[in-house]
Structure 1
Amino acid sequence: MAGHDDDRFRVKPAAPRPRAGPGPQRFIAQVLKKISKAGAKRSGKQEGRPASTFGRGRIAAVVAGRRLGPNARRVVIKSRFVVLKRAAVKSVAVHLRYIERDGVTRDGRKGRAYGADTNEADLKSFQERGQGDRHQFRFIVAPEDGLELDDLKEFTRQLMRRVEVDLETRLDWVAVDHWDTDNPHTHIVLSGRTASGEDLVIAPDYMAHGMRMRASEIATEWLGPRSELEIRQSLMREVDQQRLTGLDRALIRQAGREVRIDLTGHSPARQRQNILRARLQRLEGIGLAERAGANRWKLRPGMAATLKTMGEREDALEAMRRALKGQQRELVVHGAEGTGAVPVIGRIVGKGLTDELNDRGYLVIDGIDGRAHHLQVPAQVDLSQLPLHAIVEAPQQGRVKDVDRTIVVVSENGIYDAINHLNRLRHAGDGDPQATLDVHVRRLEALRRVGLVERVPKGKWRIPADLIQRTQQHDARKTAVRVIELRSHLAIEQQVRAIGATWLDRKLVTDAGVARRGFGAQVCDAMQSRVDFLCEQGLAERRGDRVALARNLLVTLRDRELAAAGKSLQHQTGKTYRPLLDGQQANGIYQRSIQFVSGRFAMLDDGVGFSLVPWRPVIEQRLAQHLSAVVRGASVTWSVGRQRGPSI
């Protein structure tokens, strides 16, 4: 019995007492830590940062590329996580339209989207499937040796199949290959849901590191490892570049916080040391590094930012040269901020994206000042609405508006009185005092909404003493990036004999200065041809070297075009066209906008007939709503509802 009892005895140790210091790590955390130490380094600002603790692909992020050596093929992947609720309403459609734009294929044709199982993906269907998604992923995949890959589509499909394995779910994606740059690349748009309908959450390490390693694995399998000669040639190409390169990043890491480089040691990688020395000599020549002794240099603070800016400028100049196609112009590159001292007016000769991942665009404008301008445009601007050869204007930034000056001059004891201003306008013989007053009232209401002025009873506003300075600061913040205004969707050649108030007519009326060189010379010739056409129409008369234009030329041309357009629309809709007289009010449902020679017009439908009213961007959010409008000369006042109500 005793032996039987001994056999049943079991030791039950108590739980270990807590010790000072951090508690024991979870097993999975220990595994990730060991793998992180043994595997390839992650990308990021700080080496040795902890592995991702959430999202799919956490393990794959640290094991991907472990078998790759330093001679593996390199692939650059840029990724962006887009929260759709925060993005612009049409941001997805605009991005999909952009990646499928013209001129991106090998033969310069329109790009064609493809997917996992098709060479002709339906982007509209893809967009509809993702309408309820919380977010979306966008990638740009650029193999360094993309020109040597036989089939970029199959490369992308194989990459996405490996991504599906790593993320443990089927993926809904579309892609478009771009061959319009020196380095072929692929745009991939990935839906934000898994096959089971859950939100697709990808580990940050996988997006920053794992996916790139998978692409590098495939490129190395297809083309084989890079030879010593290929590696040396790749590094040598970076030595003379005026942009931030991989060599510069290596130098910055090696220098550390002291920003000093010492190449006196005998490194086993002697060839790489020689290349770094050559790069430092190049940086010394452009003032970004200073020799501190034999084989010792000191890097200039902010070197990376300076090189990045230099690279962006070189890209801008190259884009301008391509757009001008050999035409000789003085080239002007405008930055994102602080470069709006003068207005830029001209025709669009080139456009594209400076940042394809974030949809930040640019325009190359052949200016009437005889120079070519490179302008950055906000991400929300749809470049498809700005056609090539259209006439655009980037207004001057920081300029004091005449309406603000008048408000300050008319105000008495800090109070602007609308009735008093109207009486002044009548006494001064203003052609349309009510229209002029409406312009000032609209400006005051806009300033009131942002808290710069205060409205008091009986058509009065309280004006601060420093209103001019405040409005300048407000407008500068509002237009930190140059705003682009479309002046005419027609090229100047099409405007010469067009029926309607063209941009050339406005230049004739304002007699604004145009340089007689470059595009400015072409504008001057087109204006003379336009005068000949106006003389044929009885709207102008040559008197020696001078030209007498008809009274109210712009209104007359506009009314002629609208009369013809209204007659055509009358046949299409079966409703009566109601032309607007000056000062007459139009009411109706805002149905749509139409682009004419004279500009863009809104169609107001009152159920029986319709009117065409000059369009303003602010009414686009009122589509299908009942609006009222009053046209006086070239200005229009919009109101919500049938009667004169809150002005918009």
Structure 2
Amino acid sequence: MSDDDDFNPKFGKPRARDSKGQRKFLHRVLAASNLAKGGSGARNQHFSGARIGRGVGTGRVLASRDRYAAFRQRRVIVKSRIVKLGATGMNGAKAHLRYIQRDGVTRKGTPGELYGADQDRVDAKEFLGRSEGDRNQFRFIVSAEDGADYDDLKPLTRRLMARMEQDLATRLDWVAVDHYNTGHPHTHILVRGRDERGKDLIIARDYITTGMRERAAEIVSLDFGPRTDREIENRLRHEVEQDRLTSIDHRLIREMDETGFVTAAGRDAFQQSLRAGRLQKLKRLGLAEEFQPGQWRLEDGLEDTLRRMGERGDIIKTLHREMAAREIVRSPVAYSIFDPSDPHVNPVTGRVVARGLSNEINDRHYLIVDALDGECHYIDIGRGDATEPLADGSIVRVVLKSIEPRRVDQTVVDVAAANNGRYTIDYHLKHDPQATEDYVETHVRRLEAIRRTTGKIEREPDGTWLISPDHLNHVRDYERGRAKAVPVIVETLSHLSLDQQIGTIGPTWLDRELVSSRPEPTRGSGFGRDVRDAQERRRQWLIAEGLAQDEQGKTIYRINMLQILRRRELTRIAGQLSEELGLAYAETRLGEKVDGTFRRAVELASGKYAVIEKSHAFTLVPWRPVLDHHIGKAVTGIMRDGGVSWSIGRQKGLGIS
């Protein structure tokens, strides 16, 4: 160029070929670089998020540590979960904190106590207050194999969290609770989703999955020393007869060929004896078969089968522990596991024995019900916040959650079928002139929920929904996914125990069963026998109250017995509340308007009622869950048969039916 300022750029595609068809030099350099590092080019590169976040380098180093050192190291299990808080997540966080501090989790059977880095007692409300506005919350469960050898787990937890702060290069705001209510003492740790600068805390995936466990194992190994040969051998010998998936099984499965065959031979005499003993155990379980000496074939699905067997064993232990703690005697053959995967499973009606966490990190709960059929059922009720708190001894009915389409889904299909597979609010109103726009909006909200979950429904920019011929199958997929989180519906029949119902002034579950044309069938053993005894005592009480009489060995109940009992109960409770509030009681009849401030709810034998306070009086009306979020607020409604149609805040058009 004649002048340094003269520059004529020649535009082209990045890394394009030259005039001779040769790749440009930069392209050849990048290709050689990929080959040198064992890569195959940019087409195999994708973003996984594994290399971002605090502790990414430490996590990768700890994940690739020497296998022999890891084998000698003390074992620690760390379960982790990242919970999105958002608008409704704080309610779940409050419930989780309440549950991990419940009664009976310490060595002395007392409620658990929150502690932190510098305090042995931390106020849960203060921690939740600081967490307002956080995007996420980290939840960890740390369980050391040698946890029972610690007199106190607090120092271990604090050392672990201090080491995590070093690895993540930030201070952590955390609280913890130690639990001793299982065979392995463990610690629940909650960490705020903010770093010391107030920014969102992002922890690298490798550190969460591996690094934290390795750090905890280092501390425990420092306290007790590396595992000795004797300790390792004793643990492996103990695994031989286990009815669950073990490390020996993992090794056998890894070495199994494509036809399912594996050899009993090991690298030394001890390993061979372990393998041979375990294979004999699997044979007794019907999960392995010896075709010739030393050659074994493992059954298909061995891993899943052993895992389910282990889960069943844990459930039976839980049933036995909870029943024994309450001194309820039942034969182990009466223990039953409610199977939500069986669409023909029968509903269960009975007495709540206990409620607990089946998966503490994912907040899945179980319910133990001593049922009318004489069996004691373990029931996975799914996500904890989906079922209201239940008192031990209360009477419940548990039914399988249906995955079948609802009436609204069939309506959408019918409207779309009449409009070339399209659904809109206008099409719906034209199809059903009696429908209101608010009612039709519920159909649109359901379509949006199904679309976001399954991605199998299309919506055009103008709001038109394209409904395919197999729409109801998409609905079933949606409901099936929801049923995994909440597999059953738990209906509270009475919050009163059997003994409390016998002399209660008010219509009880026992009364409804006594006058029912189709009472629940009861067996002559277990809870069924207890119910029969309680019904006889309640029958005698009703006769004494003039609500029933014996005629030729048959009990005749007054036709309006339940209504009389309900009125007596409301009159008694209204008198107590009148003295407490200093207001007169005003009864609300069908069709009348309910107008006032919702003060609180009261539990009666006949059900749950809302206390609605007016200027000079108050009334009692059937409670609904929607009211719980509006304590102290003005409400308006109409008393109808079976409940009240509510409006919150006196705003016209916000009826809650």
Q: Report the TM-score, using the length of structure 2 for normalisation.
A: 0.77
Match of 2:609 in 1: 601
Give the superposition deviation at 1:125.
Answer: 0.9
Match of 1:372 in 2: 376
DSSP 3-state at the match of 1:93: helix
Match of 2:196 in 1: 195
Partner of residue 64 from structure 1, selected from 62, 65, 76 = 62
Partner of residue 330 from structure 2, selected from 312, 328, 331 = 328
Q: 1:387 to 1:257 in 2, by over 3 A?
A: farther
DSSP 3-state at the match of 1:610: strand
Q: 1:319 to 1:100 in 2, by over 3 A?
A: same
DSSP 3-state at the match of 1:19: helix
Tell me if the contact between 1:342 and 1:397 (Cα under 8 Å) persists in the aligned partners.
no
Give the superposition deviation at 1:160.
Answer: 0.8
Map residues 263-302 of structure 1 onto 2, 5 A cutoff.
Answer: 263-264=264-265, 267=267, 269-302=268-301
- The 10-residue stretch of structure 1 (158-167 or 382-391) with the greater mean CA deviation from structure 2: 382-391
Q: 1:161 to 1:644 in 2, by over 3 A?
A: closer
Partner deviation per Cα, 1:598-635 (whole Å, 9 max, x = no partner) = 21112233444322112233554566352313243xx2
Match of 1:53 in 2: 51
Match of 1:557 in 2: 565
Q: 1:647 to 1:150 in 2, by over 3 A?
A: closer
Asked if 1:386 is matched to 2:390, the reply is: yes
Tell me if the contact between 2:86 and 2:133 (Cα under 8 Å) persists in the aligned partners.
no
DSSP 3-state at the match of 1:541: strand
Give the superposition deviation at 1:302.
Answer: 2.2
Tell me if the contact between 1:590 and 1:603 (Cα under 8 Å) persists in the aligned partners.
yes
Tell me if the contact between 1:397 and 1:476 (Cα under 8 Å) persists in the aligned partners.
no
Give the superposition deviation at 1:576.
Answer: 3.0
Partner deviation per Cα, 1:498-548 (whole Å, 9 max, x = no partner) = 121111111112151322221111111111111222222222222232112
Map residues 409-428 of structure 1 onto 2, 5 A cutoff.
Answer: none
Separation (CA, whole Å) in 2 of partners of 1:77 and 1:167: 17
Tell me if the contact between 1:84 and 1:135 (Cα under 8 Å) persists in the aligned partners.
yes
Separation (CA, whole Å) in 1 of partners of 2:167 and 2:83: 21
Tell me if the contact between 2:175 and 2:189 (Cα under 8 Å) persists in the aligned partners.
yes
Asked if 1:504 is matched to 2:510, the reply is: yes
Map residues 164-203 of structure 1 onto 2, 5 A cutoff.
Answer: 164-203=165-204
Match of 1:629 in 2: 638
- The 10-residue stretch of structure 1 (159-168 or 313-322) with the greater mean CA deviation from structure 2: 313-322
Amino acid at match of 2:639: V
Amino acid at match of 1:592: R
Partner deviation per Cα, 1:184-218 (whole Å, 9 max, x = no partner) = 11111111111111111111101111111111111
Tell me if the contact between 1:580 and 1:631 (Cα under 8 Å) persists in the aligned partners.
no
Separation (CA, whole Å) in 1 of partners of 2:351 and 2:441: 34
Partner deviation per Cα, 1:238-261 (whole Å, 9 max, x = no partner) = 222222222222322333766442
Tell me if the contact between 1:77 and 1:212 (Cα under 8 Å) persists in the aligned partners.
yes
DSSP 3-state at the match of 2:72: coil
Asked if 1:109 is matched to 2:110, the reply is: yes
Q: 1:51 to 1:274 in 2, by over 3 A?
A: farther
Q: 1:449 to 1:149 in 2, by over 3 A?
A: closer
Give the superposition deviation at 1:636.
Answer: 2.0
Map residues 246-265 of structure 1 onto 2, 5 A cutoff.
Answer: 246-255=247-256, 259-264=260-265
Separation (CA, whole Å) in 1 of partners of 2:582 and 2:619: 13
Give the superposition deviation at 1:396.
Answer: 5.8
Partner deviation per Cα, 1:270-320 (whole Å, 9 max, x = no partner) = 423431332222223222233344333333332222222212211221211
DSSP 3-state at the match of 1:378: strand
Separation (CA, whole Å) in 1 of partners of 2:596 and 2:352: 36
Tell me if the contact between 2:141 and 2:189 (Cα under 8 Å) persists in the aligned partners.
yes
DSSP 3-state at the match of 1:307: helix
Tell me if the contact between 2:404 and 2:479 (Cα under 8 Å) persists in the aligned partners.
no
Separation (CA, whole Å) in 2 of partners of 1:117 and 1:270: 51
Separation (CA, whole Å) in 2 of partners of 1:477 and 1:200: 30
Tell me if the contact between 2:403 and 2:480 (Cα under 8 Å) persists in the aligned partners.
no
Q: 1:223 to 1:363 in 2, by over 3 A?
A: same
Tell me if the contact between 1:613 and 1:631 (Cα under 8 Å) persists in the aligned partners.
no
Tell me if the contact between 1:263 and 1:296 (Cα under 8 Å) persists in the aligned partners.
yes
- Count of equivalent residues: 561
Match of 2:489 in 1: 483
Q: 1:321 to 1:63 in 2, by over 3 A?
A: same
Map residues 524-535 of structure 1 onto 2, 5 A cutoff.
Answer: 524-535=532-543
Match of 1:414 in 2: none
Separation (CA, whole Å) in 2 of partners of 1:448 and 1:368: 42
Tell me if the contact between 1:391 and 1:491 (Cα under 8 Å) persists in the aligned partners.
yes
Tell me if the contact between 1:604 and 1:610 (Cα under 8 Å) persists in the aligned partners.
yes
Give the superposition deviation at 1:472.
Answer: 10
% identical aligned pairs: 36
Asked if 1:350 is matched to 2:359, the reply is: no
Separation (CA, whole Å) in 1 of partners of 2:87 and 2:103: 28
Tell me if the contact between 1:340 and 1:482 (Cα under 8 Å) persists in the aligned partners.
no
Match of 2:20 in 1: none
Q: 1:646 to 1:514 in 2, by over 3 A?
A: same
Match of 1:518 in 2: 526
Give the superposition deviation at 1:150.
Answer: 3.1
Match of 2:147 in 1: 146
Separation (CA, whole Å) in 1 of partners of 2:473 and 2:567: 40
Map residues 16-31 of structure 1 onto 2, 5 A cutoff.
Answer: 17-19=26-28, 22=31, 24=33
Q: 1:121 to 1:181 in 2, by over 3 A?
A: same
Give the superposition deviation at 1:637.
Answer: 4.4
- The 10-residue stretch of structure 1 (353-362 or 604-613) with the greater mean CA deviation from structure 2: 604-613
Partner deviation per Cα, 1:92-135 (whole Å, 9 max, x = no partner) = 01111111111111121111111111111111111111111100
Q: 1:585 to 1:469 in 2, by over 3 A?
A: farther
DSSP 3-state at the match of 1:64: helix
Partner deviation per Cα, 1:563-618 (whole Å, 9 max, x = no partner) = 22222222333333211235544333444322122211122334443221122335
Separation (CA, whole Å) in 1 of partners of 2:620 and 2:441: 26
Separation (CA, whole Å) in 1 of partners of 2:446 and 2:136: 32
Amino acid at match of 1:615: W
Amino acid at match of 1:53: R
Tell me if the contact between 1:370 and 1:520 (Cα under 8 Å) persists in the aligned partners.
yes
Extract unaligned runs of 5+ from structure 1.
1-14, 34-48, 409-441, 452-467
Amino acid at match of 1:381: D
Q: 1:575 to 1:644 in 2, by over 3 A?
A: farther
Extract unaligned runs of 5+ from structure 2.
1-23, 39-46, 412-437, 448-471
Tell me if the contact between 2:593 and 2:636 (Cα under 8 Å) persists in the aligned partners.
no
Q: 1:147 to 1:645 in 2, by over 3 A?
A: closer
Q: 1:94 to 1:369 in 2, by over 3 A?
A: same
Tell me if the contact between 1:500 and 1:557 (Cα under 8 Å) persists in the aligned partners.
yes
Asked if 1:121 is matched to 2:129, the reply is: no
Superposed CA RMSD in Å reads: 3.7
Q: Report the TM-score, using the length of structure 1 for normalisation.
A: 0.78
Match of 1:587 in 2: 595
Match of 1:314 in 2: 313
Amino acid at match of 1:241: Q
- The 10-residue stretch of structure 1 (542-551 or 251-260) with the greater mean CA deviation from structure 2: 251-260
Give the superposition deviation at 1:88.
Answer: 4.6
